[in-house]
Structure 1
Amino acid sequence: MSADPWSRPSMQDLKEILESIGKPGTENSRTVERLELSVPAEIVTSRGNTVSAVTREISRFGLGMLHRGAIQPGEVTVKMASESRQFDYRVQIKWCIPCEKGMFLSGGEFLPKETPEA
């Protein structure tokens, strides 16, 4: 684990935490299918703080992330990048809970893109 308490969790950290959580023994009651997605991300809080993260899963309506440091529920910007482009998403963080290795799991819903005022 990195010495910097705010550094991005490694893919190995993500793998170990997801393995420790395990798969639920009951059927998934979610109404929207989620896909596993492990890519680097940045969370920019309403105060302008940037928290490095790794995504865990994504659906049409939201995403789950793993990061160091607690994030308060509320609106944030989540930045993810491909080889050719950066994607910025407005996300309403709904929950954030501590997990192993001093990290946190969080989840939120995508918000509509802001439209410029005419």
Structure 2
Amino acid sequence: MSADPWSRPTLSDLRTVLEAIGKSEVEHGRAAERLELSVPAEVMTNRGNTISAMTREISRFGIGLLHRGFVSPGEVTVRMASETREFEYRVRIEWCQPCSNGMFISGGRFLGPAEESEDD
């Protein structure tokens, strides 16, 4: 079976990656509690590419993502949807690294809602 290399990771993919990573015993000194959150998301780059993703975790200040393919650090728009609402945020991707099964995990800091973006 040849899967689309840019298709959205499944919940099973997310579980496999999270099990492989495990919980860190290192204290990261984070300012906000992180909550596990596994919902479909889309990452829209400044070049106009849309990458399907799954969220891994979220805090008041940032978000962790799982996706196929490398996402360059920099500003992107992340769109997520619940059953009743759609959320769109500007996010600065701060890191992206490969993990199992040809997937990548990344993390970014919220810059604000997408509609508040500044004019260039």
- Is the TM value for this pair above 0.5? yes
Q: Which amino acid is the alignment partner of residue 100 of structure 1? A: S
Q: CA deviation at 1:83?
A: 1.4
Displacement of 1:25: 2.6
**Identity score, percent:** 66
User: CA shift at 1:29, angstroms?
Assistant: 2.8
CA separation of 1:31/1:2 partners in 2, compared to 1, >3 Å: closer, same or farther? farther
Query: When the two structures are aligned, how many residues end up with a matched partner?
Result: 117
Who is 2:43 aligned against? 43
**2:3 alignment counterpart:** 3
Q: Which runs of 5+ in 2 are unaligned?
A: none
Superposed CA deviations along residues 45-95 of structure 1, whole A, max 9, x for unmatched, are 001100000000000000000000100011000000111221101000000
- Look up the match of 2:57: 57
How far has the Cα of 1:31 moved from its partner?
Answer: 2.3
4+ long deviations beyond 3 Å: none
> Separation in 2 of the partners of 1:37 and 1:103?
18
In structure 2, do the counterparts of structure 1 residues 82 and 2 end up closer, same or farther at CA, with 3 Å as the change threshold? farther
